[in-house]
Amino acid sequence: MGVGSASKNRSIVGTAVDTIAGGIPDDIRADYLACYDGDRFAESMRYARRYPEELPVLAGLLPQITVINGRHDRVVPLANAEFLDERQPTSRLVIIDAGHFVWEEARAKYASAVLDSITGNWP
């Protein structure tokens, strides 16, 4: 079973989810925990740690993107979003005053940024 035990992984994910400003309902918390069962937690950490190596490849592949990042994200640093934005002449960087769970902590602003990206309605 990947890095650490299932209970340790759930503890780490639970601690992270508990940082969501305003909290979340128990069923949503349980869903977050279930998403990292088995080797999923270790795999997600390997994926995130490779960002610095993979971002240059992504930058060359994505002609136009909207990057949405929480200003206080301690899992995926704002520097990663800024890296992509600086290399894409038609990109749009949206920084929301939130942490890693920006879609939970600032639902309306996140949804607005996603919808604006889809419709091309950029301020």
| Residue 2 pLDDT | 47
Burial 60-96, CB ≥16 within 10 A → b, else e: eeeeebbbbbbebbeeeebebbebbbeebeebbbbbb
Q: What is the pTM of this model?
A: 0.68
Domain locations in the chain? 1-49, 52-123
Q: Which residues contact 31 (CB under 8 A, 6 or more apart)?
A: none
Lowest-confidence region among 1-15, 18-32, 92-106: 1-15
Question: What span, in angstroms and rounded, lies between the C-alpha atoms of 68 and 85?
Answer: 10
pLDDT attached to residue 49: 86
Q: Which residue has the higher pLDDT, 60 or 97?
A: 97
Q: What is the pLDDT of residues 29-65, one digit of tens each?
A: 999 899 888 888 888 888 888 888 888 887 776 766 7
